[in-house]
Structure 1
């Protein structure tokens, strides 16, 4: 339905592809719809009851997303960085799977439990084959996305057509993009933002330009060369872009909007980005896989107002996730955020729905909502440090330490302690040319928070572990830290 609407409004507008390098994969909206309808026939001929995609973001992915929908079967894009054994295990969880994979990942799929089709061959054949009639069912699963598995084995989140359509209709204005609007997509297809980005930009009528392998320099060149008007990034990408600019401005006159999400944005990175892109509107989009992407937004006007405000309450909003989008309700129960709405799935492969009787989904994010309706995410409930019986959110300490001039990145974790149950350990990546003084950082925190929030240990690191989409791997970090010297010491790790 979304694709048919986009075609009706702009059949000859380019949907996918770079203007500077036209090739066979540069598709108009009408061509994308025809390719999807024909590609659906190829999937049906292959006997697919579930389609798996292993590859980077590019023109084949939106075509495959709509082809699977047209064929009436769910699509699962898998993390192409996983090992062959991990890929095979996840594919084995999907009944009747047919894999569509890029050539670079074929070796990892040599022993796949499902047949493997070459993505380039499937795409080329789809541009030439005959379309088939749609078998889409609004209540059927459309996409299954596996969570990152940062704290446990990945879980398959089931997003039905009705969830995804609800997300788009509630958050995007139809055919709102201008003729020359272009979005630079650099998030991977296995992330919910990769799926949501295809649907929302297509519905708006925006040309999609893909950067399959993120590089800050290439990102800036594409923004300028393709006259990109909007971009989607995760915080680690924005940090690298700011670093590449080295204090200068971006010189990207066409760029009007930068959306970010997927992980917590360090305040220092956001401030530097606002200065580097003075003419761009910033949007913080908060959501989860289980909610079909965005459920709360801090918009461009709110960013700029908070950035220049001298009112601490207004300035603090830069650290918020904004306010809930239309159609989504939120409530905080015992410190945990619960949400409900049409776009909220809360359904898992093999285990079913975890929604309560009234349709509320427990996000497992600790949060609070202020009197003006702004949502503040305080970290995952599983990340809470319990020290001497007191619950401590790592984000509370991280938000203080990140402002110290010697700190570039910081993560706070709880480590085992015989006396207190857990001790607070701050892992710090120093700013360029800076030396970390453990006692100075401890005093810095103590001056702004209660004494119980003062880190017991400060560990200096060259880097922190993240997923490719910018989520901090806290459990991996805690495992790497292992046993530390006496509290209060600064050690290198």
Structure 2
């Protein structure tokens, strides 16, 4: 089944329903359907085998996703925040691409000599081109997404039509949205959550409102002006939204569900959000690019139960990512591949139709039984709730002992003087690595490094105490909130080499 059939179904069932709102554009499902057939004609006429896109998305994102599918080619949205050199490196890795680019980013790809169309020119051409509607094979590549490359060079993840359709049909009921349901989408188009939002909301029959450049005040304004009922944010966005609501004293009377994910959210921020927006149902969604988006969910009732309970096991679940979605199997394995029991930490493996695990130039990394190694350290509790402890690549080895940074971060972030924290390992001649806590203080706070070390020692055993505590105004992160630990390690290593600052 092609992903384009999701649009066929939506347009057939409710052609006059407003499906997409982006700036001044308001497209019905029927109009989007017609435009995608013309867009497919433009793509097929170019002779390209891949459509690459550099821009902020909005209405153009679903248009390009479905136009590419109907032309029988793959779609690759690229990170518009990258330099021109980095963008051209990614474009060069794609098969015979047609590059479609927002006007604001044409200069970013200066020097590119291949096929190139400005976004507005593609839109104009799609409105008048002869319609095309190919039917690709289920295992054909539908979308190519480059990983963030926080610890290595970006990999090109290949998601097939079958992967994406399995994810949508396994987690969303067709036309299940209420007539007044509206989704606000502000995740970037090159992230798997952006692709998943376009597919799932259209299939559910929910109007999609795009905020192409995130601003917390504009986010709040759109929630109220468009009567938004559901939204998805990454941790940095949630933090800014909560700050804006506090500042302006705004209410969000139409908002029923707010999903967060993309990276770990500090528990103090989650608790503040629950207190500030008690009528909103919060959802923690965990997934990876290689799994076509969400594979586990902590739903609204789980949030409310954890907040209200006196049972430590239930309270602890607020820090989990919930339980696997339908169609997904999970296992926790040790270093030798043995499956571990409840509350035993190891590497998370996942399996299901929505799981790709395939990379351009590398091939599939699934094992012989179809399991994908996520490289995430995780734990399952006795009730099947999944706790993510960070990337296995981030593990600190100090004096021969393996230490998960998340274990220390979860303690430090609860200190009243700490707003954000990242714990990393820095090379050391005596210990192999030492533990360095990089702390962003709360506004107006001036925590003492030794006080923070003592605070950690009061909860964890001594070997988990940071050897150093350094302070920064902010942490380097991707637009989806993943801390760029390698940047911190490189900076701290350089500091040490030149006798730099720190405590």
TM-score range, shorter chain: over 0.9
Give 1:8 deviation, angstroms: 2.3
Aligned to 2:448: 437
Can you give the 5+ residue segments of structure 1 that lack an aligned partner in the other structure?
none
Q: Distance in 2 between matches of 1:330 and 1:114?
A: 43
Aligned to 2:432: 421
Aligned to 2:10: 6
Q: Distance in 2 between matches of 1:465 and 1:367?
A: 24
Q: Distance in 1 between matches of 2:450 and 2:152?
A: 35
Give 1:483 deviation, angstroms: 5.2
Asked whether the equivalents of residues 62 and 198 of structure 2 are also in contact (C-alpha less than 8 Å), the reply is yes
SS in 1 for 2:367: coil
What do the CA deviations read for 1:349-384 (whole angstroms, capped 9, x no partner)?
011000000000000000010100000000000000
Aligned to 1:406: 417
Provide TM-score, normalisation by structure 2.
0.94
SS in 2 for 1:491: coil
Give 1:112 deviation, angstroms: 1.4
Give 1:113 deviation, angstroms: 4.3
Q: State which of 381, 384, 403 in structure 2 corresponds to 1:373.
A: 384
Asked whether the equivalents of residues 187 and 233 of structure 1 are also in contact (C-alpha less than 8 Å), the reply is yes
What do the CA deviations read for 1:136-183 (whole angstroms, capped 9, x no partner)?
321100000000011111100000000000000111111111112111
SS in 2 for 1:129: coil
Structure 1 pair 485–77 and aligned structure 2 pair: CA distance change class (3 A)? closer
Asked whether the equivalents of residues 446 and 454 of structure 1 are also in contact (C-alpha less than 8 Å), the reply is yes
Asked whether the equivalents of residues 245 and 251 of structure 2 are also in contact (C-alpha less than 8 Å), the reply is no
Q: Distance in 1 between matches of 2:325 and 2:244?
A: 33
Structure 1 pair 321–42 and aligned structure 2 pair: CA distance change class (3 A)? same
Q: Distance in 2 between matches of 1:352 and 1:2?
A: 27
Asked whether the equivalents of residues 147 and 289 of structure 2 are also in contact (C-alpha less than 8 Å), the reply is yes
Asked whether the equivalents of residues 438 and 490 of structure 1 are also in contact (C-alpha less than 8 Å), the reply is no
RMSD over equivalenced CA pairs, Å:
1.5
Aligned to 2:187: 187
Aligned to 2:210: 210
Which deviates more, 472-481 or 189-198? 472-481
Provide TM-score, normalisation by structure 1.
0.96
Aligned to 2:463: 452
Asked whether the equivalents of residues 57 and 211 of structure 1 are also in contact (C-alpha less than 8 Å), the reply is no
Aligned length: 486
Q: Distance in 2 between matches of 1:144 and 1:71?
A: 15
Q: Distance in 1 between matches of 2:423 and 2:182?
A: 38
SS in 2 for 1:108: helix
Structure 1 pair 100–161 and aligned structure 2 pair: CA distance change class (3 A)? same
Give 1:7 deviation, angstroms: 1.5
Q: How does 1:22-421 map to 2 (within 5 A)?
A: 23=24, 25-246=25-246, 250-334=250-334, 335-421=346-432
Asked whether the equivalents of residues 249 and 277 of structure 1 are also in contact (C-alpha less than 8 Å), the reply is no
Over 6 Å off, 4+ runs: none
Give 1:436 deviation, angstroms: 1.4
SS in 2 for 1:214: coil
Aligned to 1:475: 486
